Amino acid sequence: MEAEIISVGTELLLGQICNTNAQFLSKRLAEIGINVFYHTAVGDNPTRLLNVVRSAEQRSNIIIFTGGLGPTKDDLTKETLAAHLGKTRVEHKQAMDRIHNYFKQRGIEMTANNRKQSEIIEGSVVFPNDHGMAPGMAIEVNDIHYLLLPGPPRELHPMYDRYTIPYLQSLFQEKYTVHSKTLRFFGIGESMLEEKLIDLIDQQTNPTIALLASEAEVSVRLTAKAKDLDEANERIATLEAELQARVGDSIYGYDDDSLASVVSHLLKQKSWSLAAAESCSGGAISQSFTELPGASEVFAGGIVSYSADAKMNALGVDADLIEQYGTVSEQTARTMAIQARKLFSADIGVSVTGVAGPEPTENKAVGVVFIGVSTKQGVEVFAPRLSGSRQNIQLRAAKYALFYVYEWLNRL
C-alpha cells in the first residue's frame, strides 16, 4: 500500500498556514505501516487539482485529500473528484440532519451553500464529522482508494482516529493490530530524555519509539505491531518496564492524560478541591481545569490577580508585604496561595507570580517565577527559572504549578 497526501487550499500556497495536516497524516499512516511517498499542496483550482490527481493515480493506491469540503464556492475537492471519477453527488441524510440541527440550535437561518456540505460522492463510505459539518468519505475506483477528509485540524484529527484508521486497516489482506501507548513526561528535556534512551531508540524495531516535544513537555509514544491487542500490549509492557526503570520519575501520565487531568484525578480520590491565584499565568491554570468535564467537583475557583491592586483588594494580600518584597517574590507567592485557598474555601491553593516579559518588572528578569502551594499542613514556594516568549512563559508557569501540585499530592 503506497499512499500520498494532497492538501487543497490556496491559503497553503500563500503561506498563510503551514501544512500540519500532511504531517499529522504521515505520522499516523506510518504507525499502521502505510508508506507515504509524496505530499502535494494545491490551490482551490479544479484544473490544477485534477493535474495533481492524475499524477497521483500513476504512482499511489491510496490518495488522501484534506481540505476543500466546506460550504463556499472555493471548496471544490468533492466536486472535482466526483466529476473526474464519473460519479454523482448525493445528499447524505445524517450529515444534512447535523447541519440542520446546528443552525436550529443557534437560531440562525441556514444559507443555501451549507447544503453542499452534506453531499457525498455516490457509493462512498462515510466518515461522520463529530466536530463540524462536512463529512469525510472514501471511495474505491480501479483499485485506487480516494479518501476525502476535512481541512480544519480539530475536525480532521478525531475523524481520522475514529473512522479513517479502521477503514484503512480493513484494506489489508493480512490483518494485524497496531497499538500505541504514550508516556507523558514533565521536568525532563527532550535531549536529556533521548540521551537516556539512545540505545533503545537506536535498536527500535517493534515496538517503535517516538519522542515528541511540546510546550515544556515531552511524550514518548511506543507503537507495537502484533497479531492481536494482547500481543501488542505485551510487547509495549516489556519496553515500558525498561523506560520506567530509567526515567520513571519524570512520567506523570499516559495517553490522553494532561497535568490538569492527573491532578484532578488525585483530587477526586481525596475528595479535595483546589483554588488558584494567578498573576503571570493569566488564567491558564483555571482554564486547564475547566476544560475537563466535571471540573466543578475538584476546582473550587480561580482568581487572576494581575495587578498589585487586585492582589491586595480582591485577594487580600497585605499592601505592606507587596511594598516590601514586590509582587514577584517568594513572600507574595506564599500569601497568594494561602489567600486563594481561603477565598474559595478549598483544600489546596496554588499561586503563580512572575515576569512573563517582554520587559523586566520590578527589577526582576523575564522568566523569574514563584509558585506557591498551600494546604492545611503548610505552604511551600518553588522558583523555577523559565525561558521563551511571553506566551511560552505564561503557559510553562501554569504547567510547573500543576506539576508541583501533582508531586505534592503524590507525597501525601
- Residues within window 236-265 making contact with a copy of itself, judged by CB under 8 A: none
d(CA 406, CA 399): 10
Pick the closer one to a copy of itself by CB: 19 or 169.
Answer: 19
Binding residue for a copy of itself, selected from 165, 379, 390, 407, defined by CB under 8 A? 390
Amino acid in the structure at residue 223: T
Cβ closest to a copy of itself, residue 120 vs residue 178: 178
Contacts of 104 (CB under 8 A, 6+ apart): none
Count CB neighbours of 72 within 10 A. Answer: 12
Site string for a copy of itself, 86-115 (x = CB under 8 A): ----------------x--xxxx--xxxx-
- Distances in Å between the Cα of 296 and the Cα atoms of 216, 261, 289, 316, 407 are 27, 13, 9, 24, 22
Answer for which of 150, 207, 301, 354 binds a copy of itself (CB under 8 A) is: 301
Nearer to a copy of itself, 117 or 375 (CB): 117
Residue 297 Cβ, how far from a copy of itself at the closest point, in Å? Answer: 9
| Residue number with CB closer to a copy of itself (139 or 405) | 405
Q: Name the pairing type of β-strands 2-8 and 35-42.
A: parallel
Contact pattern for a copy of itself over residues 269 through 288, marking x by CB under 8 A? -------x-x-x-xxxxxx-
User: Could you tell me how many residues of this chain bind a copy of itself (CB under 8 A)?
Assistant: 113
CB 114 within 8 A of CB 100: no
Rule CB under 8 A: is residue 206 a binding residue for a copy of itself? no
Binder among 265, 306, 321, 379 for a copy of itself (CB under 8 A): 306
Does 339 help bind a copy of itself (rule: CB under 8 A)? no
Q: Do you know the residue count of the chain?
A: 412
Q: Which is nearer to a copy of itself, 139 or 355 (CB)?
A: 355
Listed ranges 82-90, 231-239, 261-269, 299-307: which one lies at the site for a copy of itself (CB under 8 A): 299-307
With CB under 8 A as the contact rule, the residue among 33, 161, 212, 269 that binds a copy of itself is: 212
Taking CB under 8 A as the rule, which mask of x and - marks residues 341-380 in contact with a copy of itself? Answer: --xxx----------xxxx-----x-x-------------
DSSP calls for 211-237:
EEEETTEEEEEEEEEESSHHHHHHHHH
User: Is the CB of residue 69 less than 8 Å from the CB of residue 78?
Assistant: yes
Q: Which residues contact residue 242 at a Cβ distance below 8 angstroms, ignoring those fewer than 6 apart? A: 200
Residue 85 interacting with a copy of itself (CB under 8 A): no
Query: Cβ of residue 123: shortest distance to a copy of itself, in angstroms?
Result: 27
Burial class of residue 165 in the structure, from the number of CB atoms within 10 Å of its CB (0-12 exposed, 13-18 middle, 19+ buried): middle
Look at the alpha carbons of 52, 54, 57, 63 in this order and tell me if their dihedral is positive or negative: positive
Q: Which is nearer to a copy of itself, 52 or 121 (CB)?
A: 52
Residues within window 393-412 making contact with a copy of itself, judged by CB under 8 A: 394
Pick from 50, 57, 61, 74 the residue near a copy of itself by CB under 8 A.
74
Q: How far apart are CA 395 and CA 215, in angstroms?
A: 8
Cα(202)–Cα(35) distance, rounded to whole angstroms? 21
Contacts with 358 (C-beta within 8 Å, 6 or more apart), sequence order: 366, 390
Q: Between residue 141 and residue 200, which ones bind a copy of itself under the rule CB under 8 A?
A: 154, 189-192, 194-195, 198
Q: How far is the CB of 368 from a copy of itself (least distance, A)?
A: 10
Among 91, 230, 249, 309, indicate the residue that binds a copy of itself (CB under 8 A).
309
CB of 146 to a copy of itself, least distance (A): 19
The residues near 359 (Cβ < 8 Å, ≥ 6 apart) are 366
**Residue numbers 45-64 binding a copy of itself by CB under 8 A:** 45, 48, 51-52, 55, 59
Buried-exposed string 244-261: b where 16+ CB fall within 10 A, e elsewhere: eeebeebbbbeeebbbbb
C-beta closer to a copy of itself: residue 139 or 304: 304
Cβ atoms of 406 and 252 within 8 Å: the answer is yes
